[in-house]
Amino acid sequence: MISWNKTLYRDNAKQFDEKTNLLLGINVEKVFKKTLTKFRTFVPFQPKAKISLLFTPLTGIAFGGCNDEQFALELNNKDLDILYALEKGLPHELNHIVYEHFRKADPDRESALSQTIDEGFACYFSYVFFDRKIGKHEAVENMTQENWDWYIRNEKEIFTKLKPYFSDTSGHNPLLRNDQLHLFPEAPKSLNYWLGFRIIEKYVEKHGPDSWKDIYKLTPKDILEKSDYKKYIESL
């Protein structure tokens, strides 16, 4: 860390100057306040996490949280669109923090299904937050409509092959690590984000447009069961 800090700016001056000027060009405080004001009208619990905008020696989080008390935006992550993350990604991350508060009580919170619902719920919340005016595909990792269509075409196979991993707690399974295990090598983006979104979408279709608020206090197993997603898959 000491060595990295000594050479940090010298080796990355152009990139750091560009990112700093980008942040100076937008009113970050205004962006956060606007999002938080609307966010408070949606959720039953208010987050108190600290948001860190930072240059880091190891990138990988991009924009995300470690727990319900803190999350980070990596300014030197080359794959991150900072402006998009602040304007469109913030509600997603805030919902993670709120949902984490409720997930702590679930003994199965480390399961792949729990993590799938967590990510899918954050995506679905973004869809709701923007008044359902953004495409569902955009709400799920900002994928393209073509990406979304691939998932729909393969939906039954995806659920059938991934269901056996729902209870896995190792974190190393095709549902969460398809990029490494390649069960679906052609799958765009993350399987669990999309699948979680679809389960919650089916839950809302069955229980009403405001029923997404139920998700905070239901276990992932209950959400899956009450969504009738299994029955939907069987009907395909």
How many structural domains is the chain composed of? 2
CA 17 to each of CA 11, 23, 75, 152: distance values in angstroms, whole numbers, following the listed order? 12, 10, 11, 42
Domain boundary among 47, 77, 103: 103
pLDDT given for residue 188 in this prediction:
95
Same domain, 68 and 12: yes
Domain boundary among 83, 103, 123: 103
Same domain, 43 and 142: no
pLDDT in tens, 185-235: 999 999 999 999 999 999 999 999 999 999 999 999 999 999 999 999 999
Q: Which residues, including other chains, have CB under 8 Å from residue 140's CB and lie 6 or more apart?
A: 123, 148, 189, 193, 194, 197
Same domain, 117 and 98: no
Work out the mean pLDDT of the chain and round it to a whole number: 93
**Strand ranges inside the chain, DSSP E:** 50-54, 63-67, 70-74
The pLDDT-based confidence of 170 (bands split at 50, 70, 90) is very high
How far apart CA 74 and CA 58 sit, in angstroms, is 9
Q: What is the pTM of this model?
A: 0.93
Closest CA to 117 of 213, 214, 41, 215: 215
The pLDDT-based confidence of 66 (bands split at 50, 70, 90) is low
Domain boundary among 56, 78, 103: 103
The pLDDT-based confidence of 79 (bands split at 50, 70, 90) is confident
Same domain, 152 and 209: yes
Same domain, 231 and 135: yes
Residue-number span of the structural domain to which 51 is assigned: 2-103
